[in-house]
Amino acid sequence: MKSALVVLSLCALVALFSQMLRLGSGSLTKWIAFYALAQFVYMVISWRSAAWWGWSSMGYAKAFYSSFACVAVVAIILSLKFVGALTRSGTAAAIAELTLAFVAGVCWIFILALRQQNMLNPFSGAHIVVAGVIVFCGALTLISMAFPGDLINDIVRIFLGSYWLAFGLYAFSEPAMYLRGRAEAVAHMSVAPLVISAVLFSGLALAVNMNQSEVSRQITNSAAVEARGIGR
């Protein structure tokens, strides 16, 4: 079951990467393609590590966090670009700062709770940081939907924002259940992030493919406008 979901996600990421390359050379398009590539590499490394050492092993945890670091960096850059491309710099900065402050507060509460229960260690701390970063990216991206953009931005923001937010909230749910003594529930829910990835990345690739012609026309028009602006 898990392997099938991983393969489905990987196929969707390959399709998304190729679609972004065909759509043009815009800045956002390049970053979306780069994110798809980073997510693909992370999922392959995590999947193979789980096959070699097991999903609950220390080797898998090390491979997961080290490979996810690149995904997190690209996600932060991409979410900030989504907001910055649609709002004035002052508004974008204010939105980012408020979202960051809220997420940082939630992370700090979880870290204090883990420390009080003597459950805070490098991996549990890293888990909280990962969850916070992804929730920040998802919340920021979905908030940016209040500022309409072109079709490609709207499609990608909806699916990537939903993926980041859902993945991050699930990541927060794990330590919350551990703190409540429900470790068995965590094990039963381990398939959830794979389902989230498979559904949302497949949906994103399908949505982009269904709107390929309209997206290509908008990107061409945007490139022409940028070229005229540079030529002035």
Domain ranges of the chain: 2-231
Amino acid at 226: E
In this predicted structure, what is the pLDDT of residue 165?
93
In this predicted structure, what is the pLDDT of residue 87?
56
pTM for this predicted structure: 0.81
Alpha-carbon gap, residue 39 to 10, rounded angstroms: 9
How does DSSP classify residue 87? Answer: S
In this predicted structure, what is the pLDDT of residue 73?
92
> Contact at 8 Å (CB) between 229 and 40?
no
> Contact at 8 Å (CB) between 134 and 172?
no
Mean pLDDT per 10-residue section of the chain, whose length is 232 residues: 86 91 75 92 87 75 84 91 68 80 88 83 82 92 81 87 92 74 59 89 90 64 55 50
In this predicted structure, what is the pLDDT of residue 127?
83
